[in-house]
């Protein structure tokens, strides 16, 4: 084997495909073993190859398992199994499934025979026990050249493709939940395919932003939502609609987030329309909102532009539910927030002129605030609250009056006597 071009090819494969050198050598060994078994092997043989990349030389071995009588089936069991196999005309290999198996001289060697074998390196008998594996050198045929090399080449190409797919899968699996830059490759129906480096990702309709317009050659940032294994290679699902797309874009623009002094606590998003972000400062003296907005709004504008003009509200996170809800309803000014922790309900009281702003167009502001805080929020005006309180007070007074005002006592009627009846008769 001309080793120099071969070595150069291996090194090139490792570098270009990002595959470990050991993985390539292992693949070559498996390919050569498969080719040897096909051309020169016998049924049941377990072939192992040791390939030395530096020299280009190889050694071929037949591997046998050391067994004792307790590991084997009895003659009766073996005969019965042979009879069943003959009846259904198929070969049944159950060695891996059953504790005991049929002895095969190509795969097994009895412990008594194994103990007679000398170790060439030590020059003495090997110490072996049942379950050990012994390697027996096989002849490397001179004609094991063109045909075997061609077979090996085909298997190597296949295995390297598999190794490459595995390497790409592992690389992008580690990038799940990260932002990458992609180039729009093609558009098929509503699905958009992007070149993201060593692989192609897919942007399904449900992961797209409704006002985005895609064209081949367009470069944009995408969020790696999920990486799945597929027979044709890794399937990489991308997103531009996921809430974490926003937080990851801010992490790219804001050093305080990537540095850990500012933390995004929660996000509520309606892709392409509006997002609300709750941020907190981990380090004293750092303003979370100011850090994310940036000087003259440069940082937040960079994110808005990447998201196609999506509006972004940044609020300060608070551990106090009432304060958090009050901030979440911004830009509306909230007078007071009443919370019912057991039921997870909150009532936000706002001035009359702030009611529509607090609720938002088609309820968007209060809906996003509820998602952001995790509370069910009911927005009411001060006027409405006063009206409800007045009605309540009126009702309470009415109930009290009803209880305290007792009915006037009725005088008992006198029973009519016979004398009274006579007097009445005389008068008439």
Buried b (16+ CB within 10 A) or exposed e, 346-384: bbbbbeeebbebbbbeeeebbbbbbbbbebebebbbeee
Greatest C-alpha distance within the chain? 160
CA distances from 299 to 28, 259, 307 (A): 51, 16, 13
CATH homologous superfamily for the domain 242-317: K homology (KH) domain (3.30.300.20)
* Averaged pLDDT for residues 364-378: 96
Q: Are the beta carbons of 288 and 316 closer than 8 angstroms?
A: yes
SS3 20: coil
The number of residues in the chain equals 428
pTM for the full predicted model: 0.63
Q: DSSP label at 409?
A: P
Range in 137-151, 195-209, 221-235, 333-347 the model is least confident about = 137-151
* Averaged pLDDT for residues 166-172: 91
pLDDT of amino acid 157: 74
SS3 317: coil
So where are the chain's domains?
3-165, 175-239, 242-317, 319-392
pLDDT of amino acid 51: 80
The answer on pLDDT for 403 being more than 70 is no
Range in 48-57, 83-92, 202-211 the model is least confident about = 83-92
Local confidence band at 299 (pLDDT 50, 70, 90 cut-offs): very high
Range in 69-83, 218-232, 254-268 the model is least confident about = 69-83
pLDDT averaged over the chain? 83
The answer on pLDDT for 158 being more than 60 is yes
Bigger pLDDT: 193 or 427?
193
With 0-12 CB in 10 A as exposed, 13-18 as middle and 19+ as buried, what is 330? middle
pLDDT of amino acid 85: 60
pLDDT of amino acid 81: 63
Local confidence band at 94 (pLDDT 50, 70, 90 cut-offs): very low
Distance, in Å, from the CA atom of 265 to the CA atom of 317, rounded to the nearest integer, reads: 7
Q: DSSP label at 104?
A: -
Which two structure tokens, joined as six digits, stand for 178?
Answer: 């990260």
Bigger pLDDT: 329 or 386?
329
pLDDT of amino acid 84: 65
pLDDT of amino acid 91: 46
The answer on pLDDT for 275 being more than 90 is yes
pLDDT of amino acid 428: 45
Which two structure tokens, joined as six digits, stand for 373?
Answer: 């805080």
The answer on pLDDT for 218 being more than 90 is yes
Fold for the domain defined by 175-239: OB fold (Dihydrolipoamide Acetyltransferase, E2P) (2.40.50)
pLDDT of amino acid 92: 44
pLDDT above 70 coverage of the chain, percent? 77
pLDDT of amino acid 362: 94
Backbone φ and ψ for 341, nearest 5 degrees, come out as -60, -40
**Sole residue written with tokens 């090139």:** 12
Bigger pLDDT: 323 or 427?
323
pLDDT of amino acid 161: 81
Q: Do domains 242-317 and 319-392 have the same CATH topology?
A: yes
Local confidence band at 21 (pLDDT 50, 70, 90 cut-offs): confident
The answer on pLDDT for 413 being more than 80 is no
Bigger pLDDT: 84 or 14?
14
Local confidence band at 380 (pLDDT 50, 70, 90 cut-offs): very high
* Averaged pLDDT for residues 81-93: 54
pLDDT of amino acid 288: 95
Local confidence band at 93 (pLDDT 50, 70, 90 cut-offs): very low
Q: Class of 319-392 per CATH?
A: alpha beta
* Averaged pLDDT for residues 320-335: 95
pLDDT of amino acid 30: 85
Local confidence band at 121 (pLDDT 50, 70, 90 cut-offs): low
* Averaged pLDDT for residues 195-216: 94
pLDDT of amino acid 95: 41
Helix, strand, coil shares, percent, the chain, to 5: 45, 25, 30
Range in 220-224, 304-308, 411-415 the model is least confident about = 411-415
The answer on pLDDT for 156 being more than 80 is no
Q: What is the sign of the dihedral through the CA atoms of 347, 353, 355 and 359?
A: negative
Local confidence band at 386 (pLDDT 50, 70, 90 cut-offs): confident
CATH of domain 3-165: 3.30.1480.10
Distance, in Å, from the CA atom of 105 to the CA atom of 60, rounded to the nearest integer, reads: 18
Distance, in Å, from the CA atom of 337 to the CA atom of 378, rounded to the nearest integer, reads: 10
């Amino acid at each position: 084997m001309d080793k120099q071009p071969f070595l150069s090819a291996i090194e090139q494969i490792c570098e270009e495909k990002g595959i470990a050198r050991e993985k390539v050598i292992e693949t070559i060994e498996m390919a050569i073993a498969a080719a040897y078994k096909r051309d020169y092997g016998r049924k049941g043989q377990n072939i192992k190859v040791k390939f030395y990349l530096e020299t280009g030389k190889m050694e071929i071995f037949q591997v046998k398992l050391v067994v004792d009588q307790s590991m084997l089936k009895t003659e009766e069991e073996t005969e019965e199994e042979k009879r069943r196999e003959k009846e259904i005309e198929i070969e049944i290999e159950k060695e891996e499934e059953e504790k005991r198996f049929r002895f095969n001289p190509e795969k097994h060697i009895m412990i008594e025979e194994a103990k007679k074998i000398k170790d060439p390196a030590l020059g003495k008998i090997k110490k072996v026990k049942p379950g050990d594996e012994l390697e027996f050198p096989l002849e490397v045929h001179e004609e094991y050249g063109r045909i075997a090399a061609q077979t090996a080449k085909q298997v190597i190409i296949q295995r390297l493709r598999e190794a490459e797919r595995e390497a790409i899968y592992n690389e992008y699996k580690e990038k799940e939940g990260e932002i990458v830059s992609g180039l729009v490759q093609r558009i098929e129906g509503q699905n958009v395919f992007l070149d993201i480096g060593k692989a192609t990702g897919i942007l399904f309709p449900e992961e797209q932003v409704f006002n985005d317009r895609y064209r081949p050659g367009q470069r944009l940032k995408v969020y790696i939502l999920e990486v799945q294994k597929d027979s044709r290679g890794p399937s990489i699902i991308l997103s531009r609609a996921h809430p974490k797309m926003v937080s990851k874009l801010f992490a790219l623009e804001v050093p305080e987030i990537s540095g850990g002094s500012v933390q995004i606590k929660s996000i509520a998003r309606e892709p392409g329309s509006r997002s609300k972000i709750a941020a907190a400062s981990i380090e004293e003296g750092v303003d979370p909102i100011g850090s994310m907005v940036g000087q003259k709004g440069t940082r937040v504008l960079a994110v808005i532009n990447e998201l196609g003009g999506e509006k972004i509200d940044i609020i300060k996170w608070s551990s106090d539910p009432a304060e958090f809800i009050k901030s979440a309803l911004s830009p509306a000014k909230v007078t007071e927030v009443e919370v019912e922790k057991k039921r997870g309900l909150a009532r936000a009281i706002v001035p009359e002129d702030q009611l529509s702003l607090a609720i938002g167009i088609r309820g968007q502001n209060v809906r996003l605030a509820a998602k952001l805080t995790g509370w069910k929020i009911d927005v009411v005006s001060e006027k409405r609250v006063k009206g409800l309180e007045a009605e309540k007070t009126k009702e309470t007074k009415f109930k009290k009056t009803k209880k305290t005002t007792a009915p006037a006592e009725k005088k008992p009627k006198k029973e009519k006597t016979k004398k009274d009846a006579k007097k009445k008769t005389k008068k008439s």
